[in-house]
């Protein structure tokens, strides 16, 4: 499932984050943290993840994303990898097709996180750069996203994906991974659909015997499929 979360950060918050992520920020070569295959594809800059700035901004990103109830419903988070930040511009302007490592070790939390769900939070306005689409490939098709600043996309960690070359301007983003309580994308999708449609049924008809029963079904499926 690919899901867009909208308006997670307002214009003032975005301007402040972008100012913090100016040329003075502790940017390092993105390839320094890529695995064997990915390192051949990765040509961007990344914020030094142990820097005081990164740690401060991580909190803002996590607060913004977790404030959206869709995030919990879609990702059913068990562990969240500390958000990272990247920049694509000039010569360091793309990240070719790759699959993210299945298990990542967070130095900050000293935890291993299985990358069930990937999240990218767009921080630059689409009009401020050319290219830079997040493109997810399937066997015979591809889907490209270039979202407004302050919006995020959740997509399966199993996706072959890339960031297309930025040919003008700068693309700033935050990205991180979620280990879900429900490992299977298919099962998470079923739970998400059930949850969203129950919400609508309640809005239309109020609580009734059927919504109560289906809420029971939701929780019983979650109990069957979830690990905590
Ligand atoms: Ni990636």
Whether 224 has a pLDDT exceeding 90, the answer reads yes
Query: Ligand 1 centroid vs 99 CA: distance in angstroms?
Result: 6
**In this structure, are 88 and 199 located in the same domain?**
no
Give the integer Cα–Cα distance in Å for 201 and 221. 19
**In this structure, are 160 and 207 located in the same domain?**
no
Whether 107 has a pLDDT exceeding 90, the answer reads no
Find the range with the poorest average confidence among 2-6, 86-90, 108-112.
108-112
What pTM does this model have? 0.95
Question: Which DSSP symbol is given to 124?
Answer: S
Query: Ligand 1 centroid vs 95 CA: distance in angstroms?
Result: 8
**Alpha-helical regions (H) of 22-171:** 52-66, 69-75
Q: What is the pLDDT of residues 8-56, one digit of tens each?
A: 999 999 999 999 999 999 999 998 877 777 788 899 999 999 999 999 9
Query: Ligand 1 centroid vs 16 CA: distance in angstroms?
Result: 25
Q: Render 137-197 in DSSP notation, one character per residue.
A: E-SS-EEEE-PPTT-EEEEETT-EEEEPPEEEE-EEEEEEEEEESS--HHHHHHHHHHHHH
Give the CATH number, domain containing residue 73.
2.60.120.620
* Structural domains of the chain, count: 2
Q: What pLDDT is recorded for position 97?
A: 95
């Amino acid at each position: 499932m690919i899901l867009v979360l909208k308006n997670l950060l307002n214009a003032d918050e975005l301007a402040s984050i972008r100012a913090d992520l100016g040329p003075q920020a502790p940017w390092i070569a993105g390839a320094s943290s890529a695995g064997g295959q990915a390192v051949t594809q990765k040509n961007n800059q990344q914020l030094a993840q142990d820097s005081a700035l990164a740690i401060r901004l991580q909190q803002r990103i996590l607060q913004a994303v977790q404030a959206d109830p869709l995030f919990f419903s879609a990702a059913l988070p068990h562990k969240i990898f500390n958000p990272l930040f990247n920049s694509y511009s000039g010569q360091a302007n793309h990240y070719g097709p790759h699959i993210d490592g299945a298990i990542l070790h967070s130095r900050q939390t000293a935890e291993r996180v299985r990358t069930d769900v990937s999240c990218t939070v767009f921080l630059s306005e689409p009009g401020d750069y050319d290219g830079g689409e997040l493109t997810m490939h399937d066997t015979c098709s591809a889907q490209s996203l270039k979202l407004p600043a302050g919006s995020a996309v959740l997509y399966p960690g199993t996706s072959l994906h890339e960031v297309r070359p930025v040919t003008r301007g700068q693309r700033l983003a935050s990205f991180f991974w979620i280990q879900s309580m429900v490992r299977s994308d298919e099962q998470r999708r079923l739970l998400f659909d059930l949850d969203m449609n129950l919400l609508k049924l309640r809005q239309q008809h109020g609580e009734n015997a059927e919504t109560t029963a289906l809420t029971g079904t939701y929780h019983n499926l979650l109990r069957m499929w979830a690990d905590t």
